[in-house]
Amino acid sequence: MKEPALSPQNIQTGAICGFFAHDSFQTGIILEHTDSSCKVAYGEAQTADFPPGRLVLISSQTYTTDHPFSCITGFAGKVETFRNSLPLSDIRHKMLNCPHPLSLEQFIRTAGLPEDDVTRFAVFLALREKPAWFRIKKGLYHTLTIEQEQAWLEEEQRRELHRLDTAACPWLAKKGLPVLFTPALLEAAELLPAYETCPDRTDLTGVQCWTIDAENSLDLDDAISLQPTQDGWQLGIHITDVSSFISQDSALDREAYRRTTSVYLPELDVHMLPQSISCRKASLLQGSLRPALSIVCEVDSCGEILSQTAFPSQIKVSANYSYEQFEAFLTPVAADNPDMHCVAPVLQQIAEKHLQKRIRAGALVMEDRNITPARGIVAECMVIYNSTLASLARDRQTPLFYRYLEAPDGVLSRANDYPHHVPPSVLGTLPRPHAGMGLPAYAQFSSPLRRYSDLVNQRQILAVLSGVSLPYDREELDNGLEHLSNTRQIIRQVTQQAEDARAVRDS
C-alpha cells in the first residue's frame, strides 16, 4: 500500500505534509523548501531536511509557520477526531458499486465526504487501517468485494501461521510444512463428539487389553490382548478407528493429508491431527471406551498363528504400559502383576515365531541395539496386523496404499544383499511382494493417528468388512501417491537434520 511520492511542484511553504518514519505516519509542516530538499517541523519539537520524495501527502491549504508545532498538534487533533467518526462500513458498502480504482480525491468525492485537508488526511489513514476492505496501489484506492476480503483474510492467516510455525519449528517451516493448526481446525477438533457405544461393533470391552508405547506418548494407536483358550491362545491386536472421528474430505481430513504424518523431532512433536483428537478423543487411553479395528488370531500352544479374523469393535484399554514397564513382565514371575508375567513371555514367543517364519521367507533383520524385547514384540504384532489386512485387501482386489520392496536382481536372502543399508519401501496402489518383510503383500494400517496413508487404508478395509462401497478407487489413491511419498521423504530429511544438529550440540 505504498503511496507515490509528491513532486516538488506540489510543495509549498506552510503546507501540512505527511510522511513515514520507521513505519509510523508522521504529520509535519514545511518550513522551507527547494527543488531537492524540504525543511520540515514534526513531532513535539523536531526538524529535519527531507527530499521531496519522502512526502506522501500534502495539504492544499497553507498554514502559518510562526508556531509550527502548535499548528501540527491542532491539525493532527482535527484529523484524529474526524477519522474516528468515519462510518467506514457504510463507506465500504457504498464504494462496492464503484468497480474502478480511484485517486484519494475521487474516493472522497464518490463517498460524499467533505473535500478538505482534514478529510484527506483522515481518509488516507483510515483506509490504510482496513487492508481487508481497501487495497491501495500506486496511489489508487480499490474497494475489495466480500470474496476478495475473505481471500485476503485467509492469506493473512496463512502468513501469520507461517510466522508462528517458523518460530516453533524452523526445520519444518522452511520446507513449507505446517507446524501449528489454524484456530478453525482446532475448533473443529474440539467440536467432534466423544465416541459412544455402537451396537454394530463387536463389544470387546470385557477383554483385557493394553497399550505398550514410549513413556511420554499420548497418541496411542494400538493395543494388544492375549487370552488363553482350550488349545492355545487368542491374540487380539486393536487399532483405534480414527475414521469414525475424521470424515473423508472434511477440513481435518484435508489437513491430515497435507501434513501426511506426525513428526517427532528431538525438541518437538508435530502431530498430524490436533491433540484433542490424537492425544485424547481417539487415543487408546486407559479406561476409555474407544472404537477400534481389531484382528483376532487363533494361536496354538507352540505360538504358531493358525487363523485370523478382522472386524470393527469397541474396546476399553485396561492399562497403558511403557516399554520399560512391559519389559519387566518378561522377567521371572513377581508378585506385583502375576497375570502380565504369565502372558508377556507367551506374547514374546508368538512374536518370535512369526518373525522366524518371515526370516525363512527372506525377510531382512538388521541389527539395531535400540530394539529392546518389548519394542520388538510390539513391532512384530503390528507386522501381523498389517500383513493380515493387506492379504485380505489383496484377495478382495481392494486398492490400498501398499508398501513394497524389490530384492536386488529379484533375489534377496540376507541383509547384506544390500551393500550399505535397506532402502525405504515404496508406496503403491497394487499389492506386490515386500522383500524386506518377507511377505507377499504388505500395507500399513496400524498408525492412523500418525500416518495419513494408514487412515485411508483403514477406511478402505472397514468398507470391505462392512460390505459397502469403497471410499476410494485406485485412481484417487494414485493421485495422492506423489504428495504422500514426497512429503514423507522431506520429513525424513528434516528429522535427520534435527537429530544431527542435536548430536553436534550435545557433543
Instruction: Please give, one letter per residue, the 3-state secondary structure of 257-316.
Output: HHHCECEEECCEEECCCCHHHHHHHCCCCCCCEEEEEEEEEEEECCCCEEEEEEEEEEEE
pLDDT given at position 246: 97
Non-local (6+) Cβ contacts of 82 within 8 A are 118, 119, 122
Outline where 169-250 has alpha helix (H): 170-173, 183-191
pLDDT given at position 137: 87
What distance in Å separates the CA atoms of residue 163 and residue 170, rounded to the nearest whole number?
10
- Cα within 13 Å of Cα(33), Cβ side: 24
Confidence of residue 255 (pLDDT cuts 50, 70, 90): very high
Residue closest to 363 by CA, chosen among 405, 424, 320: 405
| Total residue length of the chain | 507
pLDDT of 332-354, one tens digit each? Answer: 765 577 788 889 999 999 999 99
Greater confidence (3 vs 383) lies with 383
* Pairing outcome for strands 305-316 and 289-300: antiparallel
Residue closest to 208 by CA, chosen among 320, 356, 364, 128: 320
Q: Is 154 helix (H, G, I), strand (E, B) or coil?
A: helix
Q: Are 111 and 95 in contact (CB under 8 A)?
A: yes
Q: In the predicted model, is pLDDT for residue 158 greater than 80?
A: no
pLDDT given at position 268: 86
pLDDT given at position 412: 44
pLDDT given at position 418: 46
Greater confidence (507 vs 246) lies with 246
pLDDT given at position 1: 46
C-alpha cell at 21: 518514519
Tell me the average pLDDT of the chain.
90
pLDDT given at position 233: 97
Q: How many CB atoms lie within 10 A of CB 1?
A: 12
pLDDT given at position 334: 58
| Burial tier of 393 (Cβ tally within 10 Å: 0-12, 13-18, 19+) | buried
Q: In the predicted model, is pLDDT for residue 409 greater than 60?
A: no
Q: Are 404 and 394 in contact (CB under 8 A)?
A: no
Residue closest to 317 by CA, chosen among 449, 211, 201: 211
182-193 mean pLDDT: 94
Question: 16-20, 110-114, 423-427, 445-449 — which one is most confidently predicted on average?
Answer: 445-449
What distance in Å separates the CA atoms of residue 130 and residue 158, rounded to the nearest whole number?
18
- Cα within 13 Å of Cα(80), Cβ side: 9
Query: If residue 403 lies in a helix (H) or strand (E), which one and from where to where?
Result: strand 402-404
Cα of first residue to Cα of last residue in the chain, in angstroms, is 49
pLDDT of 413-439, one tens digit each? Answer: 444 444 445 677 899 999 999 988 999
Non-local (6+) Cβ contacts of 74 within 8 A are none
pLDDT given at position 425: 85
Distances from the Cα of 194 to the Cα of 68, 102, 245, 313, 417, angstroms: 68, 54, 8, 16, 49
C-alpha cell at 395: 484377495
Non-local (6+) Cβ contacts of 383 within 8 A are 354, 358, 437, 439
478-495 mean pLDDT: 93
Q: Are 180 and 161 in contact (CB under 8 A)?
A: yes
What are the beta bridge partners of residue 26? Answer: 19
Q: In the predicted model, is pLDDT for residue 464 greater than 70?
A: yes
Greater confidence (31 vs 411) lies with 31
75-98 mean pLDDT: 92
Q: Are 454 and 403 in contact (CB under 8 A)?
A: no
Confidence of residue 195 (pLDDT cuts 50, 70, 90): very high
pLDDT given at position 411: 45
Q: In the predicted model, is pLDDT for residue 404 greater than 80?
A: yes
pLDDT given at position 421: 58
Residue closest to 416 by CA, chosen among 451, 365, 369, 380: 365
245-260 mean pLDDT: 96
Q: In the predicted model, is pLDDT for residue 52 greater than 70?
A: yes
pLDDT given at position 497: 85
Q: In the predicted model, is pLDDT for residue 88 greater than 80?
A: yes
Non-local (6+) Cβ contacts of 502 within 8 A are 266, 267
